[in-house]
Structure 1
Amino acid sequence: MSDCRPYKSYLFKYHIDNPTLAGQQSNKMKDYNILKTLCKRIFLMGSGNFWYEEDEIGNDKKILYKVYGTIIFFMYGFMTLLEIMAAVFGDFPEDEKRDSVTFATSHTIVMIKIYSVISKKELIKKLNHDLVRVSELYEQEPLMAEKYRIMKINVVAYFVTVYGSGACFVFEGFRKMHEGSHFATVITYYPAFEDNSILANAFRFFTTAVLFVMLMTMILTVDAFTMVNLIMYKYKFITLRHYFETLGREFDENNVQGNSKQAVERLTNGFVEGITMHNELIRLSKEIDKAFGSVMALQLCQSSGSAVSLLLQMALADQLTLFASMKIIFFVAALFFLLGLFLCNAGEITYQASLLSDTIFYTGWYACPAQRRTKRNLRHMVLQACTQAQRPIIMKAFKMLELTYGTFLLVVRGTYSVFALFYAQHK
């Protein structure tokens, strides 16, 4: 992390001059409180403690917690295994066979995503620490309120689409039960389709409950966690840009008042701190990629592959009930909504980072008197900072595919093209 001690007096002055910053230490919109609250929810789901402060949330090394987490993930894994067996070996009607393939594929990818996050717990702890601390002193209340609102809208909308899809599967199961068949949401190898015993029906309800808990683990531990980190990282660049804009305005004010020497000194000190924060943000892009890059890459595969399968189900089915149609629509919406959130926020990071170069250039350095070539020559620092800011920060999947708005549109068009091809062959 950046060390602010050499510029402590300058930062303190800036902090006092901006009362909206000084009152933020206990605000729920602060990155510290957002990430800590999310880590608490993740801890309750049995995924472990991702918070960097010891004993603030809970101890995931305790035997009881380990047993709790093991039981939960054993149920997830066992259910997914039975879904895979149903897709490969099961003898089910066509509609349930299709559902078994969809669930087996999707839940296998979900389990891999969950494992990829849990296996990087120590890395994510350090990322949380660094992400909270960088530019913490300069987070302005209106900007943080906007960030918090966007996070809430994204997470709540995704939650609604995921559980809306799950609810439609449940309603369809009850409809079948009402028509004389049995209740079914998750299609597993056991029980067989013909088995309508009390034990078999109890197991079907049990797997439905496991599915809904698994969806919550998926949302909190993987999808919302990744989404929050991307949005938070994006706003770090916006905060840094506002920091340089404030630095330039302050320099102009001091210079106009005739305090040119003090203005140059303040601008130089502030510029060094700004460069330090920018370097830290560039480093964090690699840490975010290490922590969540595999999640975003797997989501690309899951969204495109599962969407083709689901759309074919809808197109080729002779007759679909309302709830059967709705469960497919919600499922596809959840897949592409999450993919859109990942890719568009990653693309927004690239865009916000690209704006820094112009902001740095217009800080007012050109109004400073010429300096001798010293270690802290302002013009030399501006040149280096602008050059560095012009190198785009691009998040990538599989270290090849750029995560941008264009990639999202490419995936959507590609998915539809594959669907149209398979549909034409079946016709």
Structure 2
Amino acid sequence: LVDISRLKEVYNDLDVEKKMMKKSKLYSSAFCGMCVFSMLMYTIDPLVQCARKGTTFNTVITVWPLVEDSSTSANVGRFVWNLLWWSMMSRVLGVYAFVFSLTSCMSHQFIDLQSYFLSLDSIFQSEKLSQILKERKYEEAFIIGIKLHYNTLQCVESTKNICGWLFSGQIIFNITLLVLLLSQLLKSEGNLILVTAVGGAAFWIITGTGLFMCSAGDVTVEASALSTAMYSSGWHRCRGASSLRVRRLVVTSMVYAQRPVVIKGLGILSLSYQSYVSLVKSTYSVFSIVFQKIK
């Protein structure tokens, strides 16, 4: 495995790093905020029902206490279960925040590589070096860039191996949960609190899934732009035998860089904006089929 942080030892564009930090915080904060809001709504709804109708406070249905049990020990147990539920969900949110940070780091690493190759053209702007030294320095720097690209691809593969189960599980979970929420929404019978809770949860799930899939899709988008940066690195300024070697090196590197870098869920679904739209449509289609059969 390649340490992601070591990729920055050779070259690190501070502007790209700032954008990466900003995006990671934005995606993580937005996703966690949406999840916390949904959890709050599912906590408030039982409290309102408890105050209005005198029902018991139930956010999580457990073996004990029973739903109808209104004893003091049962109420204390429900409060403890609610705290445990929040504790469990906070760990889940931490995992998702880590995934957002990881995919954001990968996409911006490709942006950093683009910046590196584009900066190679400045080698030929120096007036202190001869043409031969410039060509030699450029060739050495380009080879370093190739190694950085190779190590970055290894990091992407490690990310797929580590987070593949999470990407697949998230897709299955979201489709199932959205179908259940839509079914629950039909049975709300005009209950404003329940409609708000269910509708809000469905909206946040759809939005959160978009953040999740688009964040992974950014890796594919930025990786596809790397070959253009290689082409614009200044290879045309080399002369003679150096030009022949560099052209072969650049062409080979560009061909390798043009191979799609795709993060997939379930082993077949590419995580991108297009697949996100298809996923939302398929969820509604599944719900329509299930609803028609029930009806």
Q: What TM-score results when the alignment is normalised by the length of structure 1?
A: 0.65
The alpha-carbon distance between structure 1 residues 391 and 217, as it changes in their structure 2 partners (threshold 3 A), is same
Deviation at 1:424, TM superposition (A): 3.6
Q: Does 1:382 align with 2:231?
A: no
Q: Which residue matches 1:291?
A: 162
Secondary structure at 1:167's aligned position in 2? helix
Partners of 1:329 and 1:227 in 2: CA distance: 25
RMSD: 1.9
Pairing partner for 1:352 from 195, 200, 222: 222
Q: Which amino acid aligns with 2:72?
A: I
Q: How does 1:116-135 map to 2 (within 5 A)?
A: 130-135=3-8
| Inter-partner Cα distance in structure 2 for 1:228 and 1:164 | 21
The answer to whether 1:213 aligns with 2:90 is: no
Measured after TM superposition, the shift of residue 327 of structure 1 is 2.0
- Confirm or deny: 8 A CA contact 1:159 1:219 kept in the other structure: yes
Which residue, out of 178, 191, 196, partners 1:326? Answer: 196
Deviation at 1:258, TM superposition (A): 7.2
Contact preservation (8 Å) 1:135, 1:240: no
Output the CA distance in 2 between the equivalents of 1:288 and 1:171: 38
Question: How big is each residue's C-alpha offset from its partner over 1:257-312, in whole Å with a ceiling of 9 and x where there is no partner?
Answer: 77312211221111011000001111112111110011011000011110110011
Residue of structure 2 in register with 1:392 after alignment: 260
Given residue 158 of structure 2, which amino acid in structure 1 is its aligned partner?
Answer: E
- The residue that corresponds to 1:164 in the other structure is 37
Partner residue, 1:368 = 238
Q: Write out aligned runs for 1:199-348 (5 A).
A: 199-220=73-94, 222-248=95-121, 250-254=122-126, 259-322=130-193, 324-348=194-218
Paired letter, 1:371: A
Aligned-partner Cα distance in 1 for 2:49–2:188: 17
Q: Does 1:414 align with 2:294?
A: no
Q: Distance in 1 between matches of 2:63 and 2:195?
A: 24
Show structure 2 runs of 5+ residues with no match.
Answer: none
CA contact (8 A) 2:179 2:287 kept: yes
Shift of 1:373: 10
SS at match of 1:208: helix
> What per-residue deviation string (whole Å, max 9, x for no partner) do you get for residues 206-265 of structure 1?
111011111110011x211111100001000000000111112x13413x7773122112
Give the partner amino acid of 1:302.
F
**8 Å contact kept, 1:234–1:349:** yes
Whole-angstrom CA distance in 1 between matches of 2:196 and 2:270 = 32
Whether the 8 Å contact between 1:315 and 1:423 is mirrored in structure 2 is: no
Aligned-partner SS, 2:65: coil
Question: Equivalent residue of 1:371, what SS?
Answer: helix
Question: What is the number of residues matched between the two proteins?
Answer: 294
How far apart are residue 170 of structure 1 and its match? 1.3
- Residue identity over aligned pairs, in percent, reads 24
1:234–1:352 contact (8 Å) kept in structure 2: yes
The CA distance in 2 between the partners of 1:245 and 1:387, in whole Å, is: 17
User: Does 2:53 correspond to 1:185?
Assistant: no
Higher relative contact order (CA 8 A, sep 6+): 2
Point out the more displaced range, 406-415 or 341-350: 341-350
Kindly state the Cα deviation for residue 135 of structure 1 after the two structures are TM-superposed: 3.2
Q: Which residue matches 1:139?
A: 12
